[in-house]
Amino acid sequence: MGVLENKFQDNVVVASLDKILGWARSTSPWYFQFGLACCAIEMMASAASRHDLERIGMMPRSSPRQADVMIVAGTVTMKMALRVKKLYEQMADPKYVISMGSCATSGGPYWQHGYHVLKGVDLVVPVDVYVPGCPPRPEALIEGLLKLQEKIQTERPLTRKLA
């Protein structure tokens, strides 16, 4: 850290506030606990003891007000699309969305004849990470979550953005 190096005791770490914020945010993204279809079973399996999402700092919250990440786990029907949008709007900033499985990403097996299925949740809310699979295994979901953590870590919330 340039001029600040070796000026303090050994137990003091110096970094920019931006980096610390990014680190703190990325290591505890609490996710919104709601499942729409069979992908939700895999999400539950990821949270359970064998895969244990809490070891990467993620724990389920049952209220959108307390959640940072929305995992859209399953088929989004037209009826649900309005609710998903409303739930996303209820989440506090900064907020992220993971589209889990092929149904949430593109409509999946309902892409042609499913009149009631939304063809991709990105038509309603902005998506950060897409996880492919039908349904994705917990390992795949964890890979997606780690990708999201990398993305959050590179964010610089305090740096003024160029117009």
Partner 1 sequence: MTSIEIKEALKNQFGKSVMENDELPENQVEVKGEEWLDIATFMKNDPKLSFDQLECITGIDTGEEGPLQSHYNLHSMEHRHKIEIVINHDKNEPKVPSIEKLWRIGDWFERETYDMFGIEYIGHRDLRRILCPDDWEGWPLRKDYEPQESFHGIVVPKIKEEEGWE
Which parts of 94-113 interact with partner 1 (CB under 8 A)? Answer: 111-112
Which parts of 112-141 interact with partner 1 (CB under 8 A)? Answer: 112, 115-116, 118-119, 123-124
- Minimum gap (Å) between residue 113 Cβ and partner 1: 8
| Among positions 17, 78, 92, 134, the unique one binding partner 1 when judged by CB under 8 A | 78
- State in Å, rounded, how far the first CA of the chain is from the last one: 28
Enter the DSSP assignment of 77.
B
Residue number with CB closer to partner 1 (37 or 43):
37
Beta strand residue intervals within 44-146, DSSP E:
60-61, 69-73, 96-100, 129-131
23 contacts partner 1 (rule: CB under 8 A): no
Which helix (H) or strand (E) segment is 71 a member of? strand 69-73
86 contacts partner 1 (rule: CB under 8 A): no
CA distance 11 to 65: 35
84 contacts partner 1 (rule: CB under 8 A): no
CA distance 20 to 15: 7
Interface residue list for partner 1 (CB under 8 A): 78-79, 81-82, 111-112, 115-116, 118-119, 123-124
